[in-house]
Amino acid sequence: MKTEYEYIVIGLGGIGSAAAYWLSRQAGGDVLGLEQFELGHPRGESQDHSRIIRLSYHKPQYVALAKQAYKAWAELERDAGRKLILKTGGLDLAPETSISLSNYSKSMKACKVPFDLLDAAEIMRRWPQWRLPKDVLGFYQKQSGIAPAAKCNAAHIRMARKHSAVLLQKTPVRSIRADDKKVDVIVKDATYRCRKLVIAAGPWSNSALAHLGVNLPLTVTQEQVTYFAPLDRRGFMPNRFPIWIWNDDPCFYGFPIYGENGVKVAQDAGGKKVTAETRTFETDAAALRRVKGFLRKYLPSAAGEIIYTKSCLYTLTPDRDFVIDILPEYPNVSVAIGAGHAFKFASLIGKILSELAIYGKTEYNIRPYQIDRPILRKKNPIKQFRI
């Protein structure tokens, strides 16, 4: 096996597998991807059956980026010959005093995204599964739906290999050495050299960046999702019930039946602070009580028997915005961090990373996601994880 490549990608989860795929479309066998665990492992951020994809967002920059994300997924679908994205429609709802709803509607209007503004009565007329007080408002956006995480990752990996990329699992990185001409990536039994390096290491981002003298004020949390067997299974099928987000504090979100014989529900950014090494796979009983309490109050027919609960990690920036950038100190190294809400953008971010590696620039607006923005230069910045 050769040891010199044009491009190396560290981390082959949602974003890393996408970067390897998009790079392989241009560079073929000159792409090497390294994954420290087995491919498709559950220790990170981007496995399980489903993630939400949507055009509704709290800032126009994300709405604009989401439009492009749908196009990137569609291009992967054409290349792979397989449908991935499932559109169910999406419902954002909250008490009418919620600042989030206002931000979301303003952002969609700014980007000319159509949506239906609904009061509580109309929400319950369309989806009688809900039990809502009069002060709840919502909006429905028909293009929202499900990005099937495990299937999307597998498609990126399969197609990267089809385009001749070399992807290695169970190959942890021990060291990284970079200068202005090359980057050496040292693993147990080899040293791989490349012209451009992409780091997509999720909760291991700071461990990888430390080799280059970079440390970001990231917070890693252990989150969890629970699958419930609904009392009325037919009422929660994807053609009858949308993905949904309760945009308040705390924030909850959920899916119709997909991948398991039940609905999936979780709290967003409600987990305990951990590290990638100290996380466990045990159920957080308090978090589960919060989810069950929400369902009993607002969506009671979904609050059936628990099928199972599983955990994942979030890698949070203090402002909850992404990092997608070239390292200022090392122009041959680029990095992406998804801040716990990036899977819907994963293929697009992979495409952006490929452009940064190949051309040193991208056609997409990534200025808001610079790695040297002021809040990321602070040691103890104020953290705002609600979006």
Segments forming the whole domain that contains residue 164: 4-47+150-215+319-377
- Among 301, 316, 331, the domain-final residue is 316
Please tell me whether residues 23 and 135 are part of one structural domain. Answer: no
Task: State how many domains the chain has.
Answer: 2
Please tell me whether residues 225 and 282 are part of one structural domain. Answer: yes
pLDDT for residue 99: 77
Tell me, what CATH number does 328's domain have? Answer: 3.50.50.60
Q: Is residue 98 part of a domain?
A: yes
Please tell me whether residues 305 and 237 are part of one structural domain. Answer: yes
- Among 316, 346, 363, the domain-final residue is 316
pLDDT for residue 383: 95
Q: Is residue 328 part of a domain?
A: yes
Please tell me whether residues 123 and 173 are part of one structural domain. Answer: no
Please tell me whether residues 59 and 191 are part of one structural domain. Answer: no
pLDDT for residue 300: 98
Q: For the chain (length 387 residues), average pLDDT per consecutive 10? A: 96 98 98 98 96 97 98 98 98 89 94 98 98 97 98 98 98 96 97 98 98 98 98 97 96 98 98 97 97 98 98 98 98 98 98 98 98 96 93
| Distance from the first to the final alpha carbon of the chain | 45
Q: Is residue 383 part of a domain?
A: no
Q: Which helix (H) or strand (E) holds 199?
A: strand 191-199
Please tell me whether residues 32 and 181 are part of one structural domain. Answer: yes
Q: Is residue 176 part of a domain?
A: yes
3-state SS track over 266-278: EECCCCEEECCCC
pLDDT for residue 122: 98
313, 267, 226, 108 alpha-carbon torsion, rounded to 10°: -90
DSSP state string for 218-273: -EEEEEEEEEEE-SSSGGGSTTT--EEEE-SSS-EEEE-S-SSSSEEEEETT-SEE
Q: Is residue 387 part of a domain?
A: no
- Among 299, 316, 333, the domain-final residue is 316
Please tell me whether residues 240 and 142 are part of one structural domain. Answer: yes
Please tell me whether residues 278 and 329 are part of one structural domain. Answer: no
Q: Is residue 385 part of a domain?
A: no
Tell me, what CATH number does 253's domain have? Answer: 3.30.9.10
pLDDT digits (tens, 9 = 90+) for 276-298: 999 999 999 999 999 999 999 99
Neighbours of 181 (CB within 10 A): 7
Please tell me whether residues 193 and 290 are part of one structural domain. Answer: no
Please tell me whether residues 57 and 134 are part of one structural domain. Answer: yes
Please tell me whether residues 128 and 10 are part of one structural domain. Answer: no
User: 202: phi > 0 → left, psi -120 to 50 → alpha, else beta; which?
Assistant: left
Whole-angstrom Cα distance, residue 8 to residue 22? Answer: 12
Q: Is residue 17 part of a domain?
A: yes
Closest CA to 372 of 336, 338, 327, 330: 327
Q: Which residue has the tokens 């070239």?
A: 326
pLDDT digits (tens, 9 = 90+) for 23-62: 999 999 999 999 999 999 999 999 999 999 999 999 999 9
Q: Which helix (H) or strand (E) holds 302?
A: none
Whole-angstrom Cα distance, residue 265 to residue 281? Answer: 17
pLDDT for residue 97: 83
pLDDT for residue 84: 98
Whole-prediction pTM: 0.98
Please tell me whether residues 161 and 286 are part of one structural domain. Answer: no
Q: Is residue 384 part of a domain?
A: no
Whole-angstrom Cα distance, residue 331 to residue 346? Answer: 22
